[in-house]
């Protein structure tokens, strides 16, 4: 009895972090449940206390439409009153996760996997460094939790939890919030894309030059930036936000609007979860600033700026990875490569990503047409195809970047990526030629149809008489 009191007195004022203390672990898990319940029942105004702008609506009529349902198919059976318009580009997540606490049956099955699926997911994690890693299969095996599972595994793999004394409950909660803040209805900019970028980032961190030079802090920031680089993406691009006078465009003065929002969203979740609350305040702020620098580098409009700087360093051979600033710049370039590496994946993966991003582009174009806005480049489904969009993207954006990355890191992985890029580009070119050849043959066949009499006309194939 006295020994029990002694153990209790030792723990008084704080809960033990000793993993062997099962009682303390149980109490902490109960506390986590209470925290989750409080989190999901809080008012949206809590987020404003962190210094972020409250919701404001722009002047264009489109802005009353919820970005989260932009890519969903309308349900004719649903009543209008049941379609609540949620906050635009907000930090507020759907409260579906709190349905369990309120005793309401979940609409979707709970994230419980049988042993077979769990075993397959674990087997895939053993090959997480493979460039052929199939993130779509992994997402299915984890029941839609690919980002949480993969990122937590990498934190554990690098020993970051112990090195930075991270609370595992806070970390898990932080990763769940990240995954929930990605819009699952976006065809491309969703949590699966974030997981894919994180896996690609891990492949680059394993490259000899980086693995020998990067510090644990560099690795932590690289993984966090990869996981959050498109956080709360609305499924439309920056020009769309600017032309519709969205408040975020005004807030960030039409400069890296989405990237700034992704960064601020990530900072909001870091503070809300308290993941770094045990660190000195200055260290936490420095982490947030460096995270922002990495995420802002993914702005595609600044591609030439970063590429020119990278090329200049390589030409002068003055990149010194012992220098913290140079290491950070290389991390920026690695994240840029990871963000647009889809054309460098094997064809069966690359093709799926190409179809998804084009679907998102065309959805935006359809919205712009509906509201009589100028259709953004690459977003007009009548004037573009997946093939010509991808060939242009590969030629002018992907090839120059990955050619320079191969100069920096001339490894088997770099050569593999460039090889896939060439094959995928050839595949799209071949498909375009087949389509063009089929169209020419159809036109010739239509032209050879003889007229039945002098008043009748030969109709092109696929036409209908009015």
Q: Is 189 annotated as a binding residue?
A: yes
Neighbours of 268 (CB within 10 A): 19
* Triad 362, 432, 73: Cα angle to 5°: 25
**H or E segment and range at residue 465:** none
Helix, strand or coil, per DSSP, at residue 121: helix
337, 200 contact by CB (below 8 A) = yes
Phi, psi dihedral angles at 447 (to 5 degrees): -75, -25
Whether 206 has a binding-site annotation, put simply, is no
Residue 167 known to bind ligand: no
What letter would DSSP give residue 82?
A: G
* Residue the block writes with tokens 């702020």: 285
Enter the tokens of residue 20.
Answer: 């062997």
Tell me: is residue 363 an annotated ligand-binding position.
no
Enumerate long-range contacts of 106-115, CB under 8 Å, 24 or more apart: 109/143, 111/143, 111/144, 111/145, 112/143, 113/141, 113/142, 113/143
Token representation of residue 75: 């349900």
Residue 316 to residue 333: CA distance in whole angstroms: 17
Give the CA distances from residue 151 to residues 161, 188, 219, 307, 335, in Å, rounded to whole numbers and listed in that order. Answer: 12, 19, 12, 28, 15
Place of tokens 């970047």: 401
229 known member of a binding site: yes
190: annotated binding-site residue? yes
Q: Do the annotations mark residue 261 as ligand-binding? A: no
Distance of CA 12 to the CA centre of its chain: 42
Q: Could you say which of 183, 189, 233, 420 is catalytic? A: 189
Q: Is 246 among the residues known to form the active site?
A: no
| CB-based contact 347:424 (threshold 8 Å) | yes
Contact in structure between 221 and 158 (CB atoms under 8 Å): no
The pair phi, psi for residue 168, each rounded to 5°, is -65, -35
Known binding residue 66? Answer is: no
| Phi (first) and psi of residue 340, to 5 degrees | -120, 30
- Can you tell me the distance from the alpha carbon of 153 to that of 124, in angstroms, rounded to the nearest whole number? 11
Residue 305, helix vs strand vs coil: helix
390 is in an annotated binding site: yes
Largest CA distance in the chain: 112
Closest CA to 340 of 382, 377, 395, 292: 395
Decide if 230 contacts 359 (C-beta within 8 A).
no
Return binding residues for Zn(2+): 193, 229-230, 339
Return binding residues for AMP: 189-193, 230, 339, 390
Q: Which residues are catalytic?
A: 189
Return binding residues: 189-193, 229-230, 339, 390
């Amino acid at each position: 009895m006295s020994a029990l009191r002694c153990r209790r007195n030792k723990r008084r004022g704080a809960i033990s972090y000793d993993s062997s203390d099962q009682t303390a672990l149980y109490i902490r898990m109960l506390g986590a449940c209470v925290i989750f319940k409080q989190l999901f029942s809080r008012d949206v105004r809590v987020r404003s206390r962190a210094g972020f702008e409250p919701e404001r609506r722009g002047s264009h009529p489109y802005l009353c439409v919820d970005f989260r349902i932009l890519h969903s198919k309308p349900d004719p059976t649903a009543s209008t009153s049941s379609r609540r318009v949620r906050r635009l580009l907000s930090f507020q997540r759907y409260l579906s996760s709190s349905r369990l606490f309120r005793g309401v049956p979940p609409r979707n099955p709970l994230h419980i996997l049988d042993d077979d699926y769990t075993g397959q997911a674990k087997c895939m994690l053993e090959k997480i460094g493979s460039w052929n890693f199939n993130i779509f299969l992994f997402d299915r095996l984890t029941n839609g939790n690919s980002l949480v599972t993969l990122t937590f595994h990498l934190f554990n793999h690098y020993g970051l939890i112990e090195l930075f004394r991270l609370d595992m409950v806070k970390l898990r909660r932080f990763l769940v919030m990240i995954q929930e803040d990605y819009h699952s209805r976006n065809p491309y900019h969703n949590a699966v894309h974030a997981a894919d970028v994180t896996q690609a980032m891990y492949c680059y961190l394993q490259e000899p030059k980086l693995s020998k030079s990067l510090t644990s802090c560099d690795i932590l920031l690289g993984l966090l930036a990869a996981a959050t680089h498109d956080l709360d993406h609305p499924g439309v691009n920056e020009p769309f936000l600017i032309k519709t006078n969205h408040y975020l465009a005004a807030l960030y003065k039409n400069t890296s609007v989405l990237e700034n929002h992704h960064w601020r969203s990530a900072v909001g979740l870091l503070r809300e979860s308290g993941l770094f609350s045990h660190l000195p305040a200055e260290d936490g702020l420095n982490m947030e600033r460096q995270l922002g620098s990495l995420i802002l580098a993914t702005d595609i409009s600044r591609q030439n700026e970063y590429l020119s700087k990278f090329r200049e360093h390589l030409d002068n051979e003055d990149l010194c990875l012992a220098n913290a600033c140079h290491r950070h710049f290389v991390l920026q370039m690695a994240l840029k490569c990871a963000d647009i590496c889809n054309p460098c994946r094997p064809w069966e993966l690359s093709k799926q990503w190409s179809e998804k991003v084009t679907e998102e582009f065309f959805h935006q174009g359809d919205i712009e047409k509906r509201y009589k806005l100028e259709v953004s480049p690459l977003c007009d489904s009548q004037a573009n195809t997946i093939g010509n969009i991808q060939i242009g993207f590969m030629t002018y954006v992907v090839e120059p970047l990955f050619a320079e990355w191969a100069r920096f890191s001339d490894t088997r992985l770099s050569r593999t990526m460039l090889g896939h890029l060439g094959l995928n580009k050839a595949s799209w070119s071949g498909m375009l030629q087949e389509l063009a050849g089929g169209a020419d043959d159809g036109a010739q066949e239509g032209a050879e149809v003889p007229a039945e009499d002098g008043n009748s006309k030969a109709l092109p194939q696929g036409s209908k008489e009015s």
